Amino acid sequence: MALEPARFKQNARDALKDQILRKNFRGAMDFLRKKRSAMFPDPEYFATLSSYGESVKQQALSQLPDLLLQLEKNCQNNGIQVWWAENADEANQHVLRIIHENSGHKVVKGKSMVSEETGLNDFLQQHDIECIETDMGEYIVQQSGEHPSHIIMPAIHKNVQQIASLFEQIIPGATYTEDVDTLIRMARDEMRQHFYTADIGITGVNFAVASTGTLCLVENEGNGRMSTTIPKIHIAMMGIEKVVAELADIPYLLELLTKSATGQAISTYFNMISSPRKEGEIDGPEQVHLILVDNGRSQAYADEELRQTLQCIRCGACMNHCPVYTRIGGHAYGTVYPGPIGKIISPHLLGLESTQDLPTASSLCGACEEVCPVKIPIPKLLQRLRVESNKASGQAQIMRGQGSSRTRTEALIWQIWSYCCIHPRLYHLLSKMAAMFGFIMPLLKSPWKINRAMPKPAKEDFMSQYKRKKS
């Protein structure tokens, strides 16, 4: 299934009609919101913690190149090899090269959104490298030939019946069962042999600590630890914005992440990797590679306001609270990252010209901003992206694809509108005419009328009434 953000409107329309999808998502989002809310009963505590988290991320971003250099140096001192990739293709090429140099034949993957971003699985498949997703949710979507629909719970769009049918088809010897414990056991047993035989493990990175050269991974299942322990090569792929300065920053960011994402005080495993297998150790990978991926992040970085997009710690709370995401699900966006964060990051990764619907697909309700653990001002950034989308040509180049949504019609409408608004006599004359001819409004064609009656202007507008009563 190809990802096509240009098909957003059609995808949304289709998703809105899908009653099963709507029910699945509504139930899942309600569940996740309750769990998060239970972990932050005190709004003042959340306010303090999230302000602190915001400042930690902003401080790190304000010295990003220095931190990346420090991370590189300390990783290298620890024996971790560091590679840089400007775009998706370069990142994939690094992975392939490392695999080939080590005669690798099979990859097990811990969850990595960056690897989704680069299309790594398809790329490796094209190069005849077997690549198995091992996170339960990722495994389910991979086997279904789909993409994840949520950044934390990739198979959230599926109900147990759908998964039971899937496992019956794909797992040798499996019978149909809706018992979740049994389904998990089946997948676990199936996956063991892959962990055993794989020679390459690929994961993402939740936080990278510059001062110690440490890669931190958050998980509940243990497949991340498996992928970073059993195979002889571990490759970690990371967006450049994920680096933090000090170990001391970690406990606060970790708490914000796990509480916001799944309503847990901490994940089952928090894995801090500082080197490959050392002399005298009897397990662990012989090589650890870190691939630092840009892929459009430096564009967001260059603008002070848009840079806030990079504060994201990928918790998913924004999409859990989004009334749009709840109704259309993750696939409709046609981007790797869905929901509010998807709308503000994808234009940098893919260009505004390819993601034109995303900045407008929001009523700017602010539910996301209210829960963002690092206080990203998402509605403001969406409004800013609308500014960039509609920019006239000849203005400062901030974003790839800027101005791509601008139409002469809309520009003219706002010109006329503003002219009227700053000329009160004209405005009130038009207002009187609208009152007189208001009966026409319900006759006009408009997308408003899908399921709403058109409002009719009052027979006498307020200003006329007021002036009349005063005299």
Partner 1 sequence: MTSARQNILARLQAVKTGMLKQLSPKPAAKQIDSALEVFSRCLEQNHAEVLQVDQRNLPATLEQLLQKKAIQSLITTEEFAYLTSVKQLEVVSATKAKALNKDDLFYQVDAGLTLAKFGIAETGSLVLWLDQHQPRSISLVPPIHICVLCADNLYPTFAEFISSMNMYCSGVLPTNVVLVSGPSKTADIQQTLAYGAHGPKQLIVLIVNPESDLTTAFGS
Partner 2 sequence: MNIPIKIYPAKPAKVYLYVTCLVNHFSPTTGMDAINLLEREGIEVEVITEQTCCGQPAYNSGYVEQSKQVALSQLELFSLPIPIVILSGSCGGMMRKHYPDLLADHPKVHEFSQRVYELSEFLLHVCQIKLQDNGTATTVTLHTSCSGRREMGIHTTGLKLLSQLNQVTVVEHEYSHECCGFGGTFSVKQADISASMVEDKSKYLSQSNCDSFVSTDWGCMLNINGALQYQSSPLRGEHLATFLNRRLKKAEEVL
Q: Which residues contact partner 2 (rule: CB under 8 A)?
A: 9, 12-13, 16, 47, 323-324, 327-328, 357, 359-367, 369-370, 383, 385-390, 410-411, 414-415, 417-418, 420-422, 424, 427-428, 431, 434-435, 446-448, 450-458, 460-463, 465-467
H-helix or E-strand spanning residue 465: helix 462-470
Number of residues lying near partner 1 (CB under 8 A): 96
Residues in region 40-59 near partner 1 by CB under 8 A: 45, 48-49, 51-52, 54-56, 58-59
State how far the alpha carbon of 175 is from the alpha carbons of 96, 167, 168, 187, in Å.
Answer: 37, 8, 5, 12
Under the binding rule (CB under 8 A), the answer on residue 180 touching partner 1 is yes
Long-range pairs for 453-460 at CB < 8 Å and ≥24 separation? 457/431, 459/435, 460/435
Query: Is 427 among the residues that bind partner 1 (CB under 8 A)?
Result: no
**Could you say whether residue 317 binds partner 1 (CB under 8 A)?**
no
User: What stretches of 229-322 show up as alpha helix (H) in DSSP?
Assistant: 250-262, 297-301, 317-320
For residue 418, the one-letter residue type is S
Q: Do strands 214-219 and 207-209 pair parallel, antiparallel, or not at all (unpaired)?
A: antiparallel
Find the shortest distance in angstroms from Cβ 423 to partner 2: 9
- Region from 268-276, 413-421, 428-436, 458-466 binding partner 1, contact rule CB under 8 A: 268-276
Based on CB atoms, which residue is closest to partner 1, 162 or 464? Answer: 162
Residue 219 CB, nearest distance to partner 2 (Å)?
Answer: 31
461-469: which pairs have CB atoms within 8 A and are 24 or more residues apart? 461/428, 461/431, 461/432, 461/434, 461/435, 463/428, 463/431, 464/428, 464/431, 464/432, 464/435
140 binds, among partner 1, partner 2, none (CB under 5 to 8 A by kind): partner 1
Judged by beta carbon, residue 159 or residue 390, the one nearer partner 2 is 390
Q: With respect to partner 2, which residue has the nearer C-beta, 229 or 390?
A: 390
**Alpha carbon distance 434, 423 (integer Å):** 16
Chosen from partner 1, partner 2, none, partner binding at 251 (C-beta under 5 to 8 Å by type): partner 1
Interacting span for partner 1 (CB under 8 A) from 148-156, 314-322, 377-385, 430-438: 148-156
Query: Which structure tokens are listed for 436?
Result: 């007189």
Which of the stretches 226-234, 312-320, 381-389, 404-412 binds partner 1 when contact is defined by CB under 8 A?
A: 226-234
Stretch in the footprint of partner 1 (CB under 8 A) among 213-221, 318-326, 363-371, 393-401: 213-221
With CB under 8 A as the contact rule, the residue among 2, 103, 265, 422 that binds partner 1 is 265
User: Which residues lie closer than 8 Å to 65 by C-beta, 6 or more apart?
Assistant: none
Q: Which does 54 bind (CB under 5 to 8 A by kind): partner 1, partner 2, none?
A: partner 1
Nearer to partner 1, 159 or 390 (CB): 159
Measured from the CB atom, is 5 or 110 closer to partner 1? Answer: 110
Stretch that binds partner 1, among 251-259, 332-340, 343-351, 354-362 (CB under 8 A): 251-259
Four-point Cα dihedral 35, 39, 45, 48, nearest 10: -60
Contact status, residue 261 vs residue 317, Cβ threshold 8 Å: yes
Give me the sheet containing 130-133, strands edge to edge.
80-85, 287-293, 233-239, 200-203, 106-109, 130-133
Q: Determine if 262 is a binding residue for partner 1 (CB under 8 A).
A: yes
Element of type H or E holding 234 = strand 233-239
Residue pair 109/102 in contact by the 8 Å Cβ criterion: no
Q: Which of the listed partners (partner 1, partner 2, none) does 221 bind, with a CB threshold of 5 to 8 Å by partner kind?
A: partner 1
CB of 454 to partner 1, least distance (A): 41
Strands 243-244 and 207-209: parallel
What is the token pair recorded at 296?
């459009």
| Rounded CA separation 210/73 (Å) | 9
User: Which parts of 88-147 interact with partner 1 (CB under 8 A)?
Assistant: 90, 134-137, 140
**Among 268, 363, 415, 465, contact with partner 1 (rule: CB under 8 A):** 268
Task: Kindly write down the DSSP assignment for every residue of 262-281, as one continuous string.
Answer: HS-SS-SEEEEE--SPPTT-
Residue among 24, 254, 266, 269 nearest 153 (CA) = 24
- Answer yes or no whether residue 302 interacts with partner 1 by CB under 8 A: yes
Using the minimum distance from each CB to partner 1, give the nearer residue, 122 or 246. 246
Q: Assess 387 for contact with partner 1 (CB under 8 A).
A: no
Q: In the complex with partner 2, which residue's Cβ is closer, 160 or 433?
A: 433
Q: Which does 160 bind (CB under 5 to 8 A by kind): partner 1, partner 2, none?
A: partner 1
- Which partner in partner 1, partner 2, none is near 387 (CB below 5 to 8 A by kind)? partner 2
Q: List for the chain the helix, strand, coil content (%; round to 5).
A: 55, 10, 35
